Amino acid sequence: MTDVLDPPSVAERHEHHEEHGPTGILKWLTSTDHKVIGMSYTVTSIVMLVIGGAFAELIRAQLTTPNNNLVSLAQYNELFTMHGSVMIYLFMGPFAFGALANVIVPIQIGAPDMAFPRLNALSYWLYLTGAITMLSGFFVAGGAANFGWVAYAPLSNSVNTPGAGADLWIGGLLLTGFSAIFTGVNITATIFYLRAPGMTMFRMPIFTWNMLITAILILLAFPVLTAGLIMLYCDRHFGTHIFSVAGGGVPVLWQNIFWFWGHPEVYILALPVFGMVTEIIAVFSRKPVFGYKGMIFATITIGALSLGVWAHHMFTTGTVLLPFFSIMSLLIAVPTGIKMFNWIGTMWRGEVWFSTAMLMALGFLFTFLIGGLTGIYLASPPLDFFTHDTYFVVAHFHSVVMALMMGGMGALYYWGPKMTGYLLNEKIGKAQFWLLFIGTQVFTFPMYLLGLKGMPRRIGIYPNHPAWQNLNDWATVGAIMIGLSSVCFLVNIMYSWKKYPAGDNPWDGHTLEWFTTSPPPHHNFYRLPQIRSERPTWDYNHPGHSAAAHGHAGEVLIEKEPVS
Q: Which residues bind Cu ion (CB under 5 A)?
A: 263
Residue 116 beta carbon to other proteins: minimum distance, rounded to whole angstroms: 10
Spatial distance between the Cα atoms of 338 and 562, rounded to a whole number of angstroms:
25
Q: How far is CA 460 from CA 12, 196, 428, 441, in A?
A: 62, 54, 35, 23
Stretch that binds ligand HEM, among 22-30, 83-91, 353-361, 375-383 (CB under 6 A): 83-91
Element (H, E) at 443: helix 426-452
Q: Which is nearer to Cu ion, 83 or 263 (CB)?
A: 263
Q: Which is nearer to Cu ion, 263 or 398 (CB)?
A: 263
Residue 215 touches which member of Cu ion, ligand HEM, other proteins, none, C-beta under 5-8 Å by kind: none
Q: Are 409 and 355 in contact (CB under 8 A)?
A: no
Residue 364 beta carbon to ligand HEM: minimum distance, rounded to whole angstroms: 13
Residue 560 touches which member of other proteins, Cu ion, ligand HEM, none, C-beta under 5-8 Å by kind: other proteins
Determine whether 424 is exposed, middle or buried from the number of CB atoms within 10 Å of its CB (0-12, 13-18, 19+).
buried
131 belongs to the binding site for ligand HEM (CB under 6 A):
no
Please identify which residue in 86, 100, 103, 121 interacts with other proteins, judged by CB under 8 A.
121
Residue 88 beta carbon to ligand HEM: minimum distance, rounded to whole angstroms: 5
User: Please, which residues have CB within 8 angstroms of residue 396's CB and are 6 or more apart in sequence?
Assistant: 371, 374, 375, 377, 378, 448
Binding pattern for the stretch 380-399 against ligand HEM, x by CB under 6 A and - elsewhere? --------------x---x-
Residue 120: strand, helix, or coil: helix
562 belongs to the binding site for other proteins (CB under 8 A):
yes
Binding pattern for the stretch 226-245 against other proteins, x by CB under 8 A and - elsewhere? -------x------------
Binding pattern for the stretch 90-129 against ligand HEM, x by CB under 6 A and - elsewhere? -xx-------------------------------------
134 belongs to the binding site for ligand HEM (CB under 6 A):
no
Please identify which residue in 56, 174, 266, 283 interacts with ligand HEM, judged by CB under 6 A.
56
Look up residue 315 and give its DSSP letter.
G
Look up residue 70 and give its DSSP letter.
S
149 belongs to the binding site for ligand HEM (CB under 6 A):
yes
Element (H, E) at 206: helix 206-237
Look up residue 195 and give its DSSP letter.
P
Residue 162 beta carbon to ligand HEM: minimum distance, rounded to whole angstroms: 19
Determine whether 248 is exposed, middle or buried from the number of CB atoms within 10 Å of its CB (0-12, 13-18, 19+).
exposed
31 belongs to the binding site for other proteins (CB under 8 A):
yes
Residue 32 beta carbon to other proteins: minimum distance, rounded to whole angstroms: 5
Spatial distance between the Cα atoms of 204 and 130, rounded to a whole number of angstroms:
33
412 belongs to the binding site for ligand HEM (CB under 6 A):
no
Please identify which residue in 117, 142, 154, 506 interacts with other proteins, judged by CB under 8 A.
117
**φ, ψ for residue 500 (rounded to 5)?**
-115, 95
300 belongs to the binding site for other proteins (CB under 8 A):
yes
Please identify which residue in 49, 92, 122, 280 interacts with other proteins, judged by CB under 8 A.
122
**φ, ψ for residue 16 (rounded to 5)?**
-115, 120
Residue 390: strand, helix, or coil: strand
Please identify which residue in 36, 48, 88, 100 interacts with ligand HEM, judged by CB under 6 A.
88
Residue 256: strand, helix, or coil: helix
Residue 92 beta carbon to Cu ion: minimum distance, rounded to whole angstroms: 15
Residue 320 beta carbon to other proteins: minimum distance, rounded to whole angstroms: 8
Please identify which residue in 103, 405, 449, 531 interacts with ligand HEM, judged by CB under 6 A.
405
Please identify which residue in 400, 528, 548, 549 interacts with other proteins, judged by CB under 8 A.
528
Determine whether 89 is exposed, middle or buried from the number of CB atoms within 10 Å of its CB (0-12, 13-18, 19+).
buried
Residue 374 beta carbon to Cu ion: minimum distance, rounded to whole angstroms: 13
Please identify which residue in 70, 220, 369, 438 interacts with other proteins, judged by CB under 8 A.
220
Q: Which is nearer to other proteins, 113 or 513 (CB)?
A: 113
The secondary structure of 141-153 as a DSSP string is TT-S--STTTT-T
Q: Which is nearer to other proteins, 328 or 394 (CB)?
A: 328
| HEC-encoded secondary structure of 398-434 | HHHHHHHHHHHHHHHHHHHHHHHCEECCHHHHHHHHH
Residue 456: strand, helix, or coil: strand
48 belongs to the binding site for ligand HEM (CB under 6 A):
no
Please identify which residue in 113, 426, 534, 539 interacts with other proteins, judged by CB under 8 A.
113
User: Please, which residues have CB within 8 angstroms of residue 392's CB and are 6 or more apart in sequence?
Assistant: 374, 378, 447, 448, 450, 451, 452
Residue 555 touches which member of Cu ion, other proteins, ligand HEM, none, C-beta under 5-8 Å by kind: none
Please identify which residue in 32, 210, 336, 356 interacts with other proteins, judged by CB under 8 A.
32
188 belongs to the binding site for ligand HEM (CB under 6 A):
no
* Angle at the Cα of 125 from the Cα atoms of 120 and 127, rounded to 5 degrees: 95
Please identify which residue in 33, 36, 39, 83 interacts with ligand HEM, judged by CB under 6 A.
83
**φ, ψ for residue 390 (rounded to 5)?**
-115, 180
User: Could you tell me where the DSSP H helices lie in 318-390?
Assistant: 322-347, 356-378, 381-387
Residues near ligand HEM (CB under 6 A): 53, 56, 59-60, 80-81, 83-84, 87-88, 91-92, 148-149, 394, 398, 401, 405, 443, 457-458, 479, 482-483
